Amino acid sequence: MLDLLRRLSIALLVGVCIVLLFVSGTQAKAEESSGASEINWSHPIRGTITDTFGTRSGKHKGIDIAAPEGTKILAVQEGIVTKSYYSDTYGNVVFIQHPEGYETVYAHLHKRSVAESAKVKKGQKIGTIGNTGLSRGTHLHFEVHKGNWTLDKKNAVDPFLMVAANTIEAMPAMTKPAAQLDGSMQITVKKGDTLWSISAAHRTSVESLKELNQLKSNEIMAGQKLYINERLEANTYTVKKGDTLYSIADQFDVSIHQLKKENNLKTEVIFPLQHLMITKNSGSSE
């Protein structure tokens, strides 16, 4: 009888231990999730999201953001620069460790502005956007890792858990016309303006701006005069899952060639959340 009671006691003790382990594990996961939702990071750059986390059969462990060459890359949160060097794959890359226990990666930069071990503030410039390393076109590849970056990227998390997509692609306020001539108006470029921000503000495309002003590159300077064609009316379309360039062209009654030209697309590959400019002539009978 005593032996039976001893066995029952041991079984009961084991059961209690299992329950405690389960409860503590559940609480740890809940705290982990709530911790991420409470983080308030700023955007690393303003531009167009061209690829998201988990694409390419799950191998893409970050997000890609396109913007004009020379656009500043900013630290999303204060922290310590753990790495700043040139990589064969990442190109010019900066790693920053943050107080919340996450490490961020900023890759393919044209130029790095911070050195290893430097302390950075939230919103501080750490470099400029580029096309270095294994990269196809000017863009920022941005990663977030819980704890530390590892070669297999097992700690990678979706950056959109930390940085809202609408802060990256937020449209600036409309600029008031300064002058008007033959259906066009003239504006003066302000400090911090880019062709992308101006085209978004005036509902036109970068390609249209460059053609109208005979620009050979995306570089503009403060004080420069630019013409905006008021006869053109542009729509901004956000790519949805399952969309193709063909389906979007058919929906808006434009050609695939026009879509690719206006959005500087080299191929017909597009991604969910990507923004496309779609321009139509307001004087058209269509």
d(CA 125, CA 111): 11
- How confident is the model over 211-226, as a mean pLDDT? 79
Assess contact for 196 and 76: CB atoms under 8 A: no
pLDDT band at 235 (very low <50, low <70, confident <90, very high): low
Assess contact for 132 and 89: CB atoms under 8 A: no
Q: What is the DSSP string of 191-205?
A: TT--HHHHHHHTT--
Number of domains in the chain: 2
Q: Is residue 87 part of a domain?
A: yes
Q: Is residue 243 part of a domain?
A: yes
Q: CATH no. for residue 162?
A: 2.70.70.10
Residue 45: per-residue pLDDT: 93
Which H or E element spans position 23? helix 2-38
Identify the residue with better confidence: 200 or 269: 269
Which alpha helices (H) appear in 79-188, and where do they start and end? 165-168
- pLDDT digit string (tens) for 176-192? 333 333 446 778 888 88
Residue 68: per-residue pLDDT: 86
Q: What is the mean pLDDT of the chain?
A: 78
d(CA 94, CA 72): 13
User: Best-predicted range by mean pLDDT among 109-113, 171-175, 219-223?
Assistant: 109-113
pTM listed for this prediction: 0.51
Q: CATH no. for residue 253?
A: 3.10.350.10
The reply to whether 70 and 164 lie within a common domain is yes
The reply to whether 62 and 134 lie within a common domain is yes
- pLDDT digit string (tens) for 81-128? 999 999 999 999 999 999 999 999 999 999 999 999 999 999 999 999
- The whole domain housing 52 covers 48-168
- pLDDT digit string (tens) for 6-60? 665 666 665 655 555 544 444 433 334 444 545 779 999 988 888 888 887 888 9
**Assigned token pair, 277:** 């400019």
pLDDT at 262 over 80: no
Q: Is residue 34 part of a domain?
A: no
User: Largest Cα–Cα distance of the chain, in whole Å?
Assistant: 105
3-state secondary structure 34-62: HHHHHCCCCCCCCCEEEECCCCCCCCCCC
pLDDT band at 280 (very low <50, low <70, confident <90, very high): low
The reply to whether 161 and 62 lie within a common domain is yes
pLDDT band at 251 (very low <50, low <70, confident <90, very high): confident
- Worst-scoring range by mean pLDDT, 75-84, 92-101, 195-204, 218-227? 195-204
The number of C-alpha atoms within 13 Å of 164 and in the hemisphere containing its C-beta is: 7
Look at residues 140, 168, 196 and tell me which one is the last residue of a structural domain: 168
- Worst-scoring range by mean pLDDT, 59-73, 158-172, 173-187, 227-241? 173-187
**Can you give the C-alpha Rg of the chain in angstroms?**
25
pLDDT band at 233 (very low <50, low <70, confident <90, very high): very low
Assess contact for 229 and 186: CB atoms under 8 A: no
Closest to 161 (Cα-Cα) out of 175, 174, 144, 176:
144
The reply to whether 53 and 129 lie within a common domain is yes
Assess contact for 105 and 133: CB atoms under 8 A: no
pLDDT at 216 over 80: no
The dihedral through the CA atoms of 5, 7, 11, 16 has a sign that is positive
The reply to whether 63 and 159 lie within a common domain is yes
d(CA 95, CA 196): 27
The reply to whether 58 and 135 lie within a common domain is yes
Residue 74: per-residue pLDDT: 97
3-state secondary structure of 25: helix
Instruction: Report the DSSP beta bridge partners of residue 96.
Output: 81, 104
